[in-house]
Copies of this chain bind each other. A is one copy, B any other.
Amino acid sequence: MTHGLDREWVQDALCALHDAGYQKGGARQAVIEALASHDCAVTALELEDDLRTSEVAVARASIYRALDQLEALRLVHRVDVGRGRASYERAERDGEHHHHMVCDRCGRVTPFEDGRLERAIRRVSDGATFDVKEHEIVLRGLCPRCS
C-alpha cells in the first residue's frame, strides 16, 4: 500500500501540531512519516513494524499517543475494520475520503470510493434524527486472490 510519501500531508500535520502547541519530537515525527507512506488504513502494530525496520526506534506507547493526538486534530481518521483492532489513515484536507473492502479470509483491506454511495449517505444523514458528522462503510467478502 506504500505509494511514496505524501510530503504535503506531512507538512500539514507538522504545522497543525505546532499551531496546536505541540513541540517537536522524533517519535511523533516518525509516526507521521510512516502514516504518510500508506494510502490506506494501517493498524498501530503495523506501524510499529514499519518503524522497527526503519532507522528510528519508536515505542509502542508513543505510536498510540501520536495517533491519538493526530486524530484529535483530525489529521488522521480512525477506522474500525473489525476484530478489535483499530486502523488509522491520513485524513485529506479537502474532506475527500474512501471506504474499505475487507477480505474475510486473509484480512486484506482495499479502498474504494463511489459518488453515488456518498450521495445516498448524505441524503440519509440529512434526514436523520442524529446530527451526523461522519460515516464509515465496510464491505466484507473475499478478495480476488482468495475467492
Q: A-side interface residues toward B, CB under 8 Å?
A: 80-86, 101, 103-104, 110, 112, 114, 116-117, 119-121, 123-125, 128-144, 147
Report the bound CA distance from A136 to B83 in whole Å. Answer: 14
- Evaluate contact between B130 and A139: CB separation under 8 angstroms: yes
Is A141 a contact of B131 with CB atoms below 8 Å? yes
- Say yes or no: A130-B142 contact (C-beta < 8 A), given A135-B137, A136-B137, A137-B137: yes
Q: Given that A104-B133, A130-B103, A139-B132 are contacting pairs, would A114 and B120 also be in contact in the complex, using a CB cutoff of 8 Å?
A: yes
Interchain CA distance A129-B146 in the complex, whole Å: 11
Given contacts A136-B137, A140-B135, contact A101 B117 (CB under 8 A): no
Q: In the bound complex, do residue B132 and residue A141 qualify as a contact, i.e. CB atoms below 8 Å apart?
A: yes
